[in-house]
Chain A
Amino acid sequence: MYFNSFDFLIFLPVTFSLYWFLDKRKIVLQNILLLAASYIFYGWWDWRFLSLIALSTVVDYVVGLKIYKANSQKHKKRWLLCSVFFNLGLLAFFKYCNFFIDLWIELCNAIGIRNGNFTLLRIILPVGISFYTFQTMSYTIDVYREKLKPTKDFIAFAAFVSFFPQLVAGPIERATHLLPQFLNKRSFSQGSISLGFKLIIIGFFLKLVIADRAAIYVNAVYNNVEQHDGLSFIFATILFAFQIYGDFAGYSLIAIGTAKFFGFDLMTNFRRPYFAASIHEFWNRWHISLSTWFRDYLYIPLGGNRVGKFRWFFNLFVTFLISGLWHGANWTFVLWGAINGCYLIIEVLLNSKKRKGILNIVCTFCLICFSWIFFRANTVSEAFLIIKKIFLQPGKLYIGMGDDIAAPFYAVLAIFVLIGFEIWREYIGSVKQITEKTEISRMLAYSLLVFLILYIGVFGDSQFIYFQF
C-alpha cells in the first residue's frame, strides 16, 4: 500500500480508531493490532514477501535472546554472525544476486574464459528489504554490544520490525530508540496528533507537488539522453536534486507524522540538507538514519578517524562505496558513493569541513548535484555522456511538449515555496512560529497547503523512489 493511495486514506483512520479504542485495555492488544495492520499494509503490495519479514523477525528475536544468554564472547559473536549473515544473505540474494552474476559473466568474457553457463535469475526485489534488514541487524548488534537488553515480548518485537509507517522506506530506526516505545504504554496526545497531521500534509506537498512534478521533466530528459543538450541536463539535474529530496523527505515526514498518530516518535531523517555548507555537513543532514547507521555499524568499527590518515581515508571511502551499493545494484550507485567518498577525503585534506556562508552553500549544492547525475542516470556511460554534454554541448533548453510543458513550471514554483519555508526554518524560526498565533490561522495555513496539493499535485499513484532500494 502506498501512502499516496486512497487505500491508505481509508486504512489509516480505521487503524487509528481501533488502536485508540484498545487504549483502555492492554498494550499487547495494541501491538497485535499494529502487527496485523503492518502485515496488511505490506501484504497489499505482495503478500508472498511477508514470509521474509516474518523470518527475519523470528531469526533476530531468537538471536537476540541467544546472544544475551551466551556465556562467552565467542558464543555471542557466533550468534551475532548468524544474524548478520542471515540478513545480509537475504539482501545479497534478492538485491545483488543478478548484479554479481552479471559481473561474473563480464569478467569471464573479458579474460576470455567460459562463464560456466551462468544466467541472470528472475528475482523480484521485495519492497523495503534494505530498510528492515538494516533495522533488525541494528537490534542484534546493539544486544551484542550490550547497549540493549533483548526483549522477550515477541509481539512487541515483531511489531517493531514491521511497524508500517517506516517499514518500506525508513527512517531506519534503532532498536534502542523504537523498541522501548513498543514495550511501554503510549499516551493519546492531542499535540502529537496535530503535529502528525502537519507533518503528513507537508510530506504530501513535498511528494505530490515537488517530487512528482519535477519527475515529469527529469524523466523526459534523463530517459532520452541522446536527444537533449547540456542546458537541459543542468536544469533536469537541479530539478532531480529537489525531486529526490521531495520524494524521500516527503516519505519520511509522512512516516513520522503517521507514527505520531499512534503515539510513536521516529527519528528525524532530513534537516534542510541543501543548506549545508560542506559535504560533511550535507551528510549530517541527508538521510540521517542511514548515515548514522553506517557511521555506527561500519565506519566506527573500521576504525573511524582514530587511525592513521591513510586508513581513515580508506574507511571513509569504503563506507560511502557500500552506502552507494546499498542504494541499488548498479554501477551508477557505486560511482555515486565513490564520488561522495572522494569529496569527503578532499574536504579533510583541504581542512574545510566547517565552512560557512552562502558561497559555500552554493558550491556544496553544485557538487552534490554533480553526484546526482550518477544517481539518476540509467547507466554509467549515459552519466558520462551527460557530463560531456553539460561541459561541451550546452545547446538549447528543452521546455517540454504538450502537457509536460507545465510540469517544470509547477515544480519550480513549488521549489520556491519550499526554499522560502526552509530559509525561515533554518535562519528565523520553527514551524510553530509560523502558525502558532491562533488555531484558525494554523488550520487555514494547512488548508491552503491541502488546496495547493489538490490543485497542482500529481495524482497518478506514483511510487516513492526509495521503494526500489
Chain B
Amino acid sequence: MSKYQIILFKIVKLLIIIVIVDMTLGIAAQKLFYTQKTGKYARSTYAIDKTDAEILVFGSSHAHRHYVPEVLENKLHSSVYNAGAEGQQLLYHLGLQKMILKRIKPKTIILNIDEDFLFQSNIAYDRLHDLYPYYVTHKDVLRPIFAVNNRFVDIKMLFKSYLFNSTIIHMTRYYVSPQIDHKGYRPLHGTVNKNYKDLNPYSVDQKNTIDNNLVLALEEFILNAKSNNIQLVFVTSPKLIKTNYQNNKSFHLINQMANAQNIPVLNFFNDDRFINNFELFHDPSHLNDKGASYFTELVSDKILLLKK
C-alpha cells in the first residue's frame, strides 16, 4: 500500500470507530432521554407521544405559566394539555404542532401570541435544538423546519450524540429534583413588589424587522389547524404594565393573518382587570398562580361565547 492509501485507510478506520462510539453512546443517551418523568423534555415527549387532549395550548412561557388546564377543563368540559414551552418561539411551536397532529386531532388549539413573535430573533432558531431528539422519529416534519437556517442539517443529524446534545444535565437535574407540572402547567408563586418603579407603557423597538420565515411558520401553523378542522384561537396574555402595540408591526401582521383566516383573537393586552394589579403577577410579564387561574377563567368564558 502507498503512504496515501495507508492514511486513507486509517481515516476510514477512525471514522468507523467514531460512528460506532456515537451509535453506542448515542443509543444510551436516547434511552435515558425517553426515561425522563419530569422536566421540559418529559413534557414535550408527553405532548408528542401520549396526550389525547381535546384542547391543546401552545406558546412560550406565557402559555406555559398562564393556562391552568383544570380551569379550562371545568369550564369547557374537554380534556386539556398545556404544551407551552419556556423561551420558545414560532418555529418550535410549529414543529411541536406537526408532530402532535401526526397522531391526534384535537378539537381546539389555543396559541398564546407574544406580540413580537414575527420579529427577527436568533433565539427562534437557536432554541430549536430542544426538538432535535425527536428528529429520529419525526424527520419528515422536522427536517424542513431545521433546514430553514441550517445548511448542513442532514450531516449534523447523522450523529446521535448531536441529536441529544446538552440533554444530560437537564435529565440529571430532574432525576435529582423532579419538576412537577399539572398537565403541562407549572404555576408561578409570589407577587411583584408594589414598589416596582417602571410603570411606563411598554412598547416594542420600531427598528425590529419582520422575519419572513416566521411569517411562513405562522401561516403553516394556521393551515395545519384548518386542514385538520381544528378550531384555532389566538390569545394575548395580560401584562402588569400597559402595552403600546399601536406601532408593533409584528402584532399588526398577526392580527391581519388572523382576520383573513377568521381566527378569533382574544386580546388581553391593557385589560383593566390586570393593569397595575400587583396581586396577580409574579413579575411584570408573568402571572402568578392566582392570576393564571383568573386569566384562564376569562379565556374559557370567551371561548364558550365563541362556540355559541
Q: Is B159 part of the contact surface with A, judged by Cβ < 8 Å?
A: yes
A424-443 interface code vs B (CB 8 A; 1 in, 0 out): 00000000000000011001
Cβ contact within 8 Å between A6 and B87 = no
Cβ contact within 8 Å between A20 and B18 = no
* Complex Cα–Cα for A439 and B13 (A): 10
Q: Look across to chain A and name the residue whose beta carbon is closest to the beta carbon of B13.
A: A443
Q: Is A357 part of the contact surface with B, judged by Cβ < 8 Å?
A: no
* Complex Cα–Cα for A446 and B14 (A): 9
Mark out the residues of chain A between 14 and 34 whose CB falls within 8 Å of any chain B CB in the assembled complex: 20
Cβ contact within 8 Å between A448 and B14 = no
* Complex Cα–Cα for A39 and B212 (A): 33
B131 to chain A, nearest CB (A): 13
B62-94 interface code vs A (CB 8 A; 1 in, 0 out): 000000000000000000000000110000000
- The verdict on A406 contacting B165 (CB below 8 Å), with A190-B3, A447-B21 known, is no
Q: Is B164 part of the contact surface with A, judged by Cβ < 8 Å?
A: yes
A154 to chain B, nearest CB (A): 30
Cβ contact within 8 Å between A455 and B161 = yes
* Complex Cα–Cα for A190 and B3 (A): 7
Task: Name the residue among B6, B7, B14 with the largest chain A CB count within 10 angstroms.
Answer: B14
- With beta carbons under 8 angstroms apart, the residue of B17, B29, B129 that contacts A444 is B17
A contact residues around B127 at 8 Å (CB): 403
B interface, over-half SS: helix
A interface, over-half SS: helix
Cβ contact within 8 Å between B14 and A451 = no
B contact residues around A458 at 8 Å (CB): 166
| Count, chain B residues at interface, CB 8 A | 34
Q: Is A298 part of the contact surface with B, judged by Cβ < 8 Å?
A: no
Cβ contact within 8 Å between B87 and A403 = yes
Cβ contact within 8 Å between B18 and A450 = yes
B contact residues around A446 at 8 Å (CB): 14
- With beta carbons under 8 angstroms apart, the residue of A197, A409, A454, A460 that contacts B162 is A454
Q: Look across to chain B and name the residue whose beta carbon is closest to the beta carbon of A442.
A: B14
B61 to chain A, nearest CB (A): 9
* Complex Cα–Cα for A443 and B18 (A): 8
* Complex Cα–Cα for A406 and B130 (A): 13
Q: Is A457 part of the contact surface with B, judged by Cβ < 8 Å?
A: yes
- The verdict on A448 contacting B21 (CB below 8 Å), with A403-B87, A454-B159, A455-B161 known, is yes
Q: Look across to chain A and name the residue whose beta carbon is closest to the beta carbon of B152.
A: A6
Q: Look across to chain A and name the residue whose beta carbon is closest to the beta carbon of B19.
A: A447
Cβ contact within 8 Å between B22 and A454 = yes
- With beta carbons under 8 angstroms apart, the residue of B4, B17, B169 that contacts A447 is B17
Q: Is B168 part of the contact surface with A, judged by Cβ < 8 Å?
A: yes
A179-220 interface code vs B (CB 8 A; 1 in, 0 out): 000000000101001100100000000000000000000000
A contact residues around B20 at 8 Å (CB): 447
Q: Is A93 part of the contact surface with B, judged by Cβ < 8 Å?
A: no
Q: Is B205 part of the contact surface with A, judged by Cβ < 8 Å?
A: no
Cβ contact within 8 Å between A455 and B168 = yes
- With beta carbons under 8 angstroms apart, the residue of B18, B26, B155, B168 that contacts A6 is B155
* Complex Cα–Cα for A410 and B155 (A): 25
Q: Look across to chain B and name the residue whose beta carbon is closest to the beta carbon of A444.
A: B17
Cβ contact within 8 Å between B17 and A456 = no
Cβ contact within 8 Å between B165 and A190 = no
Q: Look across to chain B and name the residue whose beta carbon is closest to the beta carbon of A213.
A: B166
Q: Is A402 part of the contact surface with B, judged by Cβ < 8 Å?
A: yes
Cβ contact within 8 Å between B152 and A409 = no
Cβ contact within 8 Å between A190 and B10 = yes
A contact residues around B29 at 8 Å (CB): 455
Cβ contact within 8 Å between B165 and A456 = yes
B contact residues around A456 at 8 Å (CB): 165-166, 168
* Complex Cα–Cα for A8 and B166 (A): 23
Cβ contact within 8 Å between A402 and B10 = no
Cβ contact within 8 Å between B10 and A194 = yes
* Complex Cα–Cα for A20 and B5 (A): 12
Task: Name the residue among A402, A406, A455 with the largest chain B CB count within 10 angstroms.
Answer: A455
Cβ contact within 8 Å between B4 and A455 = no
Q: Look across to chain B and name the residue whose beta carbon is closest to the beta carbon of A194.
A: B10
Q: Is B126 part of the contact surface with A, judged by Cβ < 8 Å?
A: yes
Task: Name the residue among A402, A448, A450, A451 with the largest chain B CB count within 10 angstroms.
Answer: A451
Q: Is A459 part of the contact surface with B, judged by Cβ < 8 Å?
A: yes
* Complex Cα–Cα for A69 and B169 (A): 65
A199 to chain B, nearest CB (A): 14
Cβ contact within 8 Å between A447 and B155 = no
- The verdict on A188 contacting B166 (CB below 8 Å), with A402-B86, A403-B127, A451-B25 known, is no
* Complex Cα–Cα for A94 and B7 (A): 44
Cβ contact within 8 Å between B14 and A454 = no
Q: Look across to chain B and name the residue whose beta carbon is closest to the beta carbon of A413.
A: B169
B53-65 interface code vs A (CB 8 A; 1 in, 0 out): 0000000000000
- With beta carbons under 8 angstroms apart, the residue of B13, B161, B168 that contacts A454 is B161
A contact residues around B156 at 8 Å (CB): 6, 459
* 10 residue pairs bridging A and B, Cβ less than 8 Å apart: A9-B155, A190-B6, A193-B7, A197-B14, A402-B86, A410-B169, A444-B17, A447-B22, A454-B159, A459-B165
Q: B residues within 8 Å of A by Cβ?
A: 3-4, 6-7, 10, 13-14, 17-18, 20-22, 25-26, 29, 86-87, 126-127, 129, 151-152, 155-156, 159, 161-162, 164-166, 168-170, 173
Q: A residues within 8 Å of B by Cβ?
A: 6, 9, 20, 188, 190, 193-194, 197, 402-403, 405-406, 409-410, 439-440, 443-444, 446-448, 450-451, 454-460
